[in-house]
Amino acid sequence: MKHYPMIINGHAIDSNDRLAVVNPATGDTFATCARASDHHVDTAVHAAKMAFDVWSKRPDAERKALIHQLGALIEQHKDELIELVVRETGKPIGGLGGVGATMEVMGASAWSHVTADIDLPDEIIQDDATALVTVTRKPLGVVASVTPWNWPLLIAIWHLIAAIRAGNTVVIKPSELTPLATARFIELANGILPPGVLNIVMGEGNIGQRLISAPAVSKVVFTGSTATGKRIMASASNSLKRLVLELGGNDAAIVLPGTDLDRVAGDIFAAAFHNNGQTCACLKRLYVHESQYEALCQRLVAIAEGIKVGNGLDADVELGPIQNEAQRSIVENLVAAAVREGGQILCGGKRVEGAGYFYSPTLVAGLRNGCELVDQEQFGPVLPIIRYTLIDEAIELANDSPNGLGGSVWGENTAEAEQVGRQLECGTVWINGHGGVQPDAPFGGVKESGFGVEFGRYGLEECTSIQTVKIHRQ
C-alpha cells in the first residue's frame, strides 16, 4: 500500500504514526500517510520562517517564473493527480456537467498560471513639489493553510499559490480525509522551489490548532465549516494574525416567473448536485415562483432519475459517493427532518445499499424557511425546492440566513434578474448560472460565510500588508 510522507524543509519526513486514507466508493483503505506530532508542526513552521527571508527577497520575475513551472508540473502529472483525487474524494473523473477530478486538477494548473501573472505594483498616491507618497505591498511571512476534503487539491492551490506569489512561505495542513493529492503536489513542488517555501503536515485531532496558533504564523487561510472558522478566529486573536475564512454557504437561487424551464433546468440541477452538493458554492435552496413550481420540480426529477451514480473511476459516472460516512449521516438526518416537517420526497431520499458512502440524488418539495433542510447547509446530494408568490418575498427568504457566500437569479429578462440579484446578501451573485468561480475575479463570503477574498488582484492583496512611504520634498 502506498505511503505518503510529510514534506518539511524540502525533505520527506515520516512518522511512526500513520493515518489510513479511505476510498469512499468502497470503504477500503487504499493508502496511508504520515501523521504529524506537535514537534513536526513546529519544525515545519520554523522551516517556513527560515525560508521567508530569501524567498520574499527573490526578484518578482523569478517567483513568477517558478509559479508558472508549478502550473506546468501539475499538468505533467495530471493522470496521477486525477486518480488520487478520485480515490480520496470519490468524485468522478469527468463528473456531472464536467465538474469532477479532471476539472479539479486542470483548474489547479490554470489557477497557478493566472495567479503567477498577477502583479501588485507600487501605487503612487502623490508626486508633486511637496512629497512623493508611495504604497507598497509587502509579504506577511508564514501563512498557515487548512484545507477541506471536498476539493482538496484545488483549494490547496488557491491558498498556497497566492501566498507564495506574494512572497510568503506556507505550511499546509490538509483534511485528514483527503491529504494525498496535496501531499504529492507539495513533494513535486519541492523539486522546483527552495526548501521551506512549501511544507505539509498531515494529521488530525489538534494539528490544525497547533499550526494556526504558532507564534511565527502571520496569516491563516481556512476553508471549511463556520463552527471551526469561529474557533480559528478566536485562536488567531492571541497574536492578531491575518485571516481569510471561506466558510459554509447555504446559497439560494431564485427562479423568476416566466423563465424558460427547458433552458435552465439542467444548469440548475448541475449547480446543486455537482460533486454531490459538496461544494461551498453549490446551489442549496431553490426558490421557484408558484406559477412554475410543479413544472420545474418535474423537470428536475426527470434529470435526477437519469443520473449515473457509481465509482468515480468509471468513465461515464456523473456522481460518486459522499466523501465520508459522517457527512452521509448529516444528509440522512436532514432528509429525515424534512419528512417530519412535511416535506415530500420527490426522488431519492435513501442510501444506495452496498459498499461505499453512496446516497441517491434527492429532491424535496413542500418545505419552507424554518425547516432544517432549508436553514442548514446540507453539503450533500439533496435539494429543497421552495414555493414563493412575490419576488420581494423570495428575496427576503433568500436573505433569511446567517450565511452569505453566493446566490443566483434565473430568468429571461437579464436586467430584472440583475436588479433582484443585487439585493441578495452574499459575496457573489450569478445571473442564469450558479457557483462558477474564476482565477481573476474575487470570491468570498459575507455574514457567517466568512471574510476576506481569494483570487485575482484582490486575493493577492490579502497575502500582503501595506507599507506607505512618504518622502518630504520641502
By beta-carbon proximity to ligand NDP, the closer residue of 63 and 91 is 91
By beta-carbon proximity to ligand NDP, the closer residue of 259 and 323 is 323
Stretch that binds ligand NDP, among 100-108, 132-140, 207-215, 463-471 (CB under 6 A): 207-215
Q: What is the spatial distance between Cα 331 and Cα 337, in angstroms, rounded to a whole number?
A: 10
Q: Is 246 a catalytic residue?
A: yes
Q: Residue 119's Cα: distance from chain center in Å?
A: 24
Residue 201 neighbours by CB distance under 10 Å: 31
Is 406 a binder of ligand NDP (CB under 6 A)? no
Is 224 a binder of ligand NDP (CB under 6 A)? yes
Is 73 a binder of ligand NDP (CB under 6 A)? no
By beta-carbon proximity to ligand NDP, the closer residue of 410 and 430 is 430
Q: What is the spatial distance between Cα 266 and Cα 264, in angstroms, rounded to a whole number?
A: 6
Q: What is the spatial distance between Cα 187 and Cα 7, in angstroms, rounded to a whole number?
A: 6
Closest approach, Cβ 40 to ligand NDP, in A, equals: 12
Residue tagged active-site, from 88, 246, 318, 462: 246
C-alpha cell at 240: 492578531
Is 356 a binder of ligand NDP (CB under 6 A)? no
Q: In residues, how long is the chain?
A: 474
Amino acid at 304: A
Closest approach, Cβ 408 to ligand NDP, in A, equals: 17
Could you give the 3-state DSSP secondary structure of residue 1?
Answer: coil
Closest approach, Cβ 213 to ligand NDP, in A, equals: 7
Binding mask 131-150 for ligand NDP (x = CB under 6 A): ---------------x-xxx
Binding mask 33-72 for ligand NDP (x = CB under 6 A): ----------------------------------------
Task: Report which DSSP code applies to 193.
Answer: S
Q: How many residues bind ligand NDP (CB under 6 A)?
A: 29
Listed in sequence order, the residues at least 6 apart from 426 whose beta carbon sits closer than 8 Å to its beta carbon are 251, 404, 405, 406, 407, 445, 446, 449
Is 361 a binder of ligand NDP (CB under 6 A)? no
Q: Which of 89, 175, 250, 408 binds ligand NDP (CB under 6 A)?
A: 175
| Residues 271-290 close enough to bind ligand NDP by CB under 6 A | 280
Is 247 a binder of ligand NDP (CB under 6 A)? yes
The side-by-side arrangement of strands in the sheet containing 123-127 is 123-127, 131-139, 464-472
Task: Report which DSSP code applies to 342.
Answer: T
Phi/psi class of residue 263: alpha, beta or left (left: φ > 0; alpha: ψ in -120 to 50)? alpha
Stretch that binds ligand NDP, among 8-16, 231-239, 256-264, 301-309 (CB under 6 A): 231-239
Closest approach, Cβ 330 to ligand NDP, in A, equals: 5
Closest approach, Cβ 237 to ligand NDP, in A, equals: 12
Binding mask 371-390 for ligand NDP (x = CB under 6 A): ------x-x-----------
Q: What is the spatial distance between Cα 51 and Cα 39, in angstroms, rounded to a whole number?
A: 18
Is 203 a binder of ligand NDP (CB under 6 A)? yes
- Which among 452, 407, 414, 446 has a CA at the least distance from the CA of 430? 407
Is 205 a binder of ligand NDP (CB under 6 A)? yes
Q: Which of 95, 100, 208, 406 binds ligand NDP (CB under 6 A)?
A: 208
Torsion of CA 383, 389, 394, 396, to 10 degrees: -130
Is 204 a binder of ligand NDP (CB under 6 A)? yes
Listed in sequence order, the residues at least 6 apart from 382 whose beta carbon sits closer than 8 Å to its beta carbon are 277, 331, 334, 335, 348, 359, 361, 362, 363, 364, 373
Closest approach, Cβ 470 to ligand NDP, in A, equals: 39
By beta-carbon proximity to ligand NDP, the closer residue of 224 and 343 is 224
Q: Which of 327, 360, 403, 408 binds ligand NDP (CB under 6 A)?
A: 327
Residue nearest to ligand NDP (CB): 208
Half-sphere exposure of 205 (CA within 13 A, CB side): 7
Q: Is 369 exposed, middle or buried (0-12, 13-18, 19+ CB in 10 A)?
A: middle
Listed in sequence order, the residues at least 6 apart from 227 whose beta carbon sits closer than 8 Å to its beta carbon are none
| Contact criterion met (CB below 8 Å) for 15 and 202 | no
Is 158 a binder of ligand NDP (CB under 6 A)? no
By beta-carbon proximity to ligand NDP, the closer residue of 167 and 249 is 249
Is 401 a binder of ligand NDP (CB under 6 A)? no
Q: Which of 223, 311, 360, 401 binds ligand NDP (CB under 6 A)?
A: 223
- Which among 135, 143, 88, 125 has a CA at the least distance from the CA of 312? 88
Q: Which of 89, 115, 228, 250 binds ligand NDP (CB under 6 A)?
A: 228
Is 231 a binder of ligand NDP (CB under 6 A)? yes
Q: What is the spatial distance between Cα 283 and Cα 125, in angstroms, rounded to a whole number?
A: 42
Interface residues toward ligand NDP, by CB under 6 A: 146, 148-150, 173, 175-176, 203-209, 212, 223-225, 228, 231-232, 235, 247-248, 280, 327, 330, 377, 379
Q: What residues are labeled active site?
A: 246
